[in-house]
Amino acid sequence: MPVRPATAEPVRPAVPPERVVIASIGLDVPVVPVGVVEGGFMELPENPAIGGWYRYGADPALDEGHVVISAHVDAPDYPIGPFSQVRDLAAGTVVDVTDAAGIVHQYSIASVTYYPKTELPVDELFARTGPRELVLITCGGAYDSATGRYRENVVAVATPVG
């Protein structure tokens, strides 16, 4: 039996995405790393013109897992955000994600789905293993003025090009 060192393999530092561009619709959004807020929800930048990358998941340079980037559709004191256009993405639309190393990772939209917030398949969308995919999430559907939230999430899933 081969002898292995007792020290663990070094952990590969994440290479976070820094920008999402969908040239065909004029979407160009800076991206910052985010975590989780109270209640177990993904943290989002307050400004809808800035996307949040789920830093506990995959990054674009990994060979597997879902790169999750989300942004508010709108927010008080801000105009409608660029991710409001996610709901209109057609299959085959090209999405460019530039990472911190300056590498552009290209994806093609495979699907756009509306999920009631209570039925969002979190385990599936935030998968750290399995096929490499890009997941863009924002709010959509009817606005519930009683809760101050939209009733649904709009989720676009894209697969790597090439």
Reading the chain (162 residues) residue by residue, the pLDDT tens digits are 677 777 776 677 899 999 999 999 999 999 999 999 998 889 999 999 999 999 999 999 999 999 999 999 999 899 999 999 999 999 999 999 999 999 999 999 999 999 998 899 999 999 999 999 999 999 998 888 888 889 999 999 999 997
Measure Cα distances from 132 to 3, 62, 68, 135 in Å.
33, 8, 11, 10
* DSSP at 35: -
- Strands 27-34, 51-54: pairing is parallel
User: What count of residues does the chain have?
Assistant: 162
User: Can you read off the two tokens belonging to residue 68?
Assistant: 């999750």
Query: CA-CA distance, 100 to 83, in Å (whole number)?
Result: 21
- Selection from 96, 15, 21, 99 nearest residue 57 by Cα: 15
Amino acid residing at 62: L
Structural domains in the chain, sorted by start? 17-160 (2.40.260.10)
3-class SS at 128? coil
pTM recorded for the entire structure: 0.92
User: Can you read off the two tokens belonging to residue 154?
Assistant: 């709009």
